[in-house]
Amino acid sequence: MYFEDFPVGKSGVSVGKTISLTDIELYNEMAGWPDSTVSGIKAAPAMLVTMISAGLMTRQGFYEGTLMGILNNAWWYKAPVVVGDTLKIKYRVSKASLTKRGDKGIIVFSINVYNQKDEIVAEGEMKAMMRARESE
């Protein structure tokens, strides 16, 4: 998908991803994070939630061949994510502007991450540069 396919207000919902003990253990080992628990259940580090959210955005399929770069990410974490939680994202295009050359555009996605109880566990804003259709 191209810049023109993302008008302000466009929104969508991803598929779900259930957080496993393996997800958390592999991330903690790779990143060197210590284990943490919430009420005796192993908890996911905030950055793992961010990475999974980015993966859920990618699975939407709209970056294929047109994403030129992620320019900025900002995240706010609202609630813990533990083993067994199923995450999904809801995104909305909050800003979109074509560059002066017209061959690419900057899109700002507002992202909410929900668990299986439909509670917001994280909120994010991602600024991406996407190829414009005219640039082909």
- Residue 136, pLDDT above cutoff 80: no
Q: How far apart are CA 6 and CA 117, in angstroms?
A: 29
111 residue type, one letter? I
Q: State pLDDT tens for residues 78-114.
A: 999 999 999 999 999 999 999 999 999 999 999 999 9
Closest-CA residue to 124 (of 60, 56, 85, 73) = 73
* β-pair partners for 20: none
Alpha carbons 60 and 57: distance in angstroms, whole number? 5
Tell me: pLDDT of 134 over 80: no
Q: Encoding tokens for residue 74?
A: 């900002």
Residue type, 107: I
Summarize pLDDT for 29-58 with one digit per residue, the tens. Answer: 999 888 888 888 899 999 999 999 999 988
Confidence at residue 13, expressed as pLDDT on a 0 to 100 scale:
96
What is the chain written as a DSSP string?
A: --GGG--TT-EEEPPPEE--HHHHHHHHHHHTPPP-EETTEEB--HHHHHHHHHHHHHTTSTTTTTEEEEEEEEEEE-S--BTT-EEEEEEEEEEEEE-TTSSEEEEEEEEEEE-TTS-EEEEEEEEEEEE-GGG-
Q: Please say if the pLDDT value at position 135 is more than 80.
A: no
pLDDT band per the 50, 70, 90 thresholds, residue 63: confident
The mean pLDDT of 4-12, rounded to a whole number, is 95
Torsion of CA 110, 115, 116, 118, to 10 degrees: -50
Domains of the chain: 3-18+46-135 (3.10.129.10)
Tell me the pLDDT tens digit for each residue of 66-81.
999 999 999 999 999 9
